[in-house]
Amino acid sequence: MRNHEAMTLAWPAPVVEHPVHATIAVPGSKSMTNRALLLAALAETESTLQAPLRSRDTLLMAQALRSLGTDIQDIAADSAESVAGWRVRPADWRGPIDVDCGLAGTVMRFLPPASVLAEGEVRFDGDPHARTRPMSTVLTALRDLGARITGDRLPLTVFGEGALRGGEVVVDASASSQFVSGLLLSGARYAEGVTVRHRGAPVPSLPHITMTVTMLRAAGVTVDDTEPDVWRVLPGPIAGTDWAIEPDLSNATPFLAAAAATGGSTVIPGWPAHTDQAGDAIRDILAEMGCTVEVAADRLTVSAPERLTGIDIDLHDVGELSPTIAALAALANGPSRLRGIAHLRGHETDRLAALSTEINRLGGAATETEDGLLIEPRPLHGGQWQSYADHRMATAGAVLGLVVPGVTVEDIETTNKTIPDFPGMWAAMLDDEDCAQRPRKDVQGV
């Protein structure tokens, strides 16, 4: 009981009196790590992952693959040049096993299409909210491709037969790009490969499908994505690959927002020159909000403007950035409109409801629209920011808490979904000796 109480105590968000000036190394990309783990497990030969993310979502993926039979070992960093990571040796998969998906979309949408290749039952379940996240698109598609599955959401069971016919399938992936990515990642191992045709409102988060295609090609798989909304994966072997995992650019955004909100500057080392990560879009978004954004020699530097400007933006492709942008919008000097993100209602929580409720709890003026949020700046006050078990809600609360005294963030530990030690990183950011001692300009809107 005492442990539980300690775990759920609200975190007093640190307030700063001076601008944040810090250099932050962010851990590996969740999206790349979970794709690399799965492709490594489905490959013909051994793979390695350099600098993978080790957080709840990726440890759940690794645990599920190990339970199926995959051998995943730690590689220690043995010199200044060698980076710690994982060595993955593929093996035939056997059930029955139970897979805990936690609240990870990449586990619950990527593993059922792979587990049809196991011999035996693979039972999936997850956190209470995971049971409400949309799943039926990918499950119906798998049934159309020859799989036997019970359930339309978690909990569900895949009755693996060691192989799948595959072929062509029509899906409505307007609720999540992960339905498409999940089918493509395993498709090369189906007898006929897979062709996924999307019919419906536009697919969100397209950069994530591009990442899937890029990584499949890097593993020697032939993918045809020349026709819009159609992806064809030819059957064939997946090659063992040495994956270098990039820093998670979406997880860099709260640290960049810390600079933007306090009149400071943040440097992120290791910003890739070319990437499929959706988080790369933060450069243009912060520039549009008035920040100065520079990339030089793989270091991204974001410096704050005198006042942040509001923004009117379609985030359909990069929805996972919305909580960070909404937090900054609440501090800007004019109204903001975030559009194209109705699908956020199926994320870790209904993010449109959660963001509007929590911004308004602090005295803000956020309104939910059919496909996004309207945010008018208002002077904010302290209060308890609820996280809804959503890592990005928690980090958005931390951003606001930097400049709004008296904000506590409920369940800060939920950030562990994709960042191993967010409170520690946040404290280190504020202790960074680059932090100037001059008083912070008042950057709060209005």
Ligand X SMILES: O=C(O)C1=C[C@@H](OP(=O)(O)O)[C@@H](O)[C@H](O)C1
Kindly state the smallest distance separating residue 346's Cβ from ligand PEP, in Å.
8
Kindly state the smallest distance separating residue 355's Cβ from ligand X, in Å.
15
Helices (H), 347-421: 351-361, 391-403
Nearer to ligand PEP, 106 or 195 (CB): 106
The angle that helices 30-42 and 206-218 make with each other, rounded to 10 degrees, is 40
156-161 and 119-125 strand pairing: antiparallel
In 3D space, the residue among 390, 380, 377, 444 whose CA is nearest the CA of residue 416 turns out to be 390
| Residue 105 interacts with ligand X (CB under 6 A): yes or no | yes
Catalytic position from the list 246, 320, 348, 358:
320
205 is in an annotated binding site: yes
Residue with tokens 């958005």: 396
Inter-CA distances, 216 with 31, 202, 211, 267, 419, Å: 13, 23, 8, 31, 25
With CB cut-offs between 5 and 8 Å by kind, which of ligand X, ligand PEP, none does residue 262 bind?
A: none
| Residue 105 interacts with ligand PEP (CB under 6 A): yes or no | yes
Kindly state the smallest distance separating residue 435's Cβ from ligand X, in Å.
30
Nearer to ligand X, 88 or 249 (CB): 249
Pair 399, 257: CB distance under 8 Å: yes
Please tell me the distance from the alpha carbon of residue 41 to that of residue 69, in angstroms, as a whole number.
9
Question: Which one among 317, 320, 358, 410 touches ligand PEP, defined by CB under 6 A?
Answer: 320
In 3D space, the residue among 225, 226, 178 whose CA is nearest the CA of residue 203 turns out to be 178
Please tell me the distance from the alpha carbon of residue 274 to that of residue 256, in angstroms, as a whole number.
19
Please tell me the distance from the alpha carbon of residue 89 to that of residue 411, in angstroms, as a whole number.
36
With CB cut-offs between 5 and 8 Å by kind, which of ligand PEP, ligand X, none does residue 205 bind?
A: ligand X
Please tell me the distance from the alpha carbon of residue 403 to that of residue 423, in angstroms, as a whole number.
17
Please identify, among the stretches 19-27, 200-208, 301-309, 358-366, the one whose residues bind ligand X according to the rule CB under 6 A: 200-208
441 is in an annotated binding site: no
Please identify, among the stretches 100-108, 115-123, 255-263, 266-274, the one whose residues bind ligand PEP according to the rule CB under 6 A: 100-108
Say how many C-beta atoms besides its own lie within 10 A of residue 119's C-beta.
15
Kindly state the smallest distance separating residue 126's Cβ from ligand PEP, in Å.
10
Q: Which residue number is nearest to ligand PEP in terms of Cβ?
A: 105
In 3D space, the residue among 285, 292, 276 whose CA is nearest the CA of residue 310 turns out to be 285
Q: SS3 of 47, please?
A: strand
In order, the DSSP letters of 113-166 are HHHTTSEEEEEEE--GGGGGS--HHHHHHHHHTT--EE-SSSSEEEEEES----
What the block records as the tokens of 279 is 């988080």
With CB cut-offs between 5 and 8 Å by kind, which of ligand PEP, ligand X, none does residue 341 bind?
A: none
Question: Which one among 39, 43, 104, 215 touches ligand PEP, defined by CB under 6 A?
Answer: 104
| Residue 58 interacts with ligand X (CB under 6 A): yes or no | no
Question: Which one among 112, 113, 204, 445 touches ligand X, defined by CB under 6 A?
Answer: 204
Kindly state the smallest distance separating residue 35's Cβ from ligand X, in Å.
7
What the block records as the tokens of 442 is 């008042």
| Residue 31 interacts with ligand X (CB under 6 A): yes or no | yes
| Residue 181 interacts with ligand X (CB under 6 A): yes or no | yes
417 is in an annotated binding site: yes
Question: Which one among 347, 354, 358, 445 touches ligand PEP, defined by CB under 6 A?
Answer: 347
| Residue 102 interacts with ligand X (CB under 6 A): yes or no | no
31 is in an annotated binding site: yes
Question: Which one among 57, 248, 317, 320 touches ligand X, defined by CB under 6 A?
Answer: 320
109 is in an annotated binding site: no
Inter-CA distances, 71 with 37, 99, 104, 148, 285, Å: 11, 16, 21, 26, 41
Nearer to ligand PEP, 195 or 395 (CB): 395
Cα–Cα–Cα angle for 8, 19, 414, nearest 5°? 20
Kindly state the smallest distance separating residue 311's Cβ from ligand PEP, in Å.
19
| Residue 177 interacts with ligand X (CB under 6 A): yes or no | yes
Catalytic residue flag (residue 320): yes
Kindly state the smallest distance separating residue 348's Cβ from ligand PEP, in Å.
6
With CB cut-offs between 5 and 8 Å by kind, which of ligand PEP, ligand X, none does residue 392 bind?
A: ligand PEP
Residue 411, by phi and psi: left (phi above 0), alpha (psi -120 to 50) or beta?
left
| Residue 279 interacts with ligand X (CB under 6 A): yes or no | no
Say how many C-beta atoms besides its own lie within 10 A of residue 406's C-beta.
14
Binding-site residue numbers for phosphoenolpyruvate are 30, 105, 133, 178, 351, 392, 417
The contact set with ligand PEP (CB under 6 A) reads: 104-106, 320, 347-348, 392, 418
The contact set with ligand X (CB under 6 A) reads: 31, 105-106, 176-178, 181, 204-205, 208, 319-320, 343
Active site residues: 320
Binding-site residue numbers are 30-31, 35, 105, 133, 176-178, 205, 320, 347, 351, 392, 417
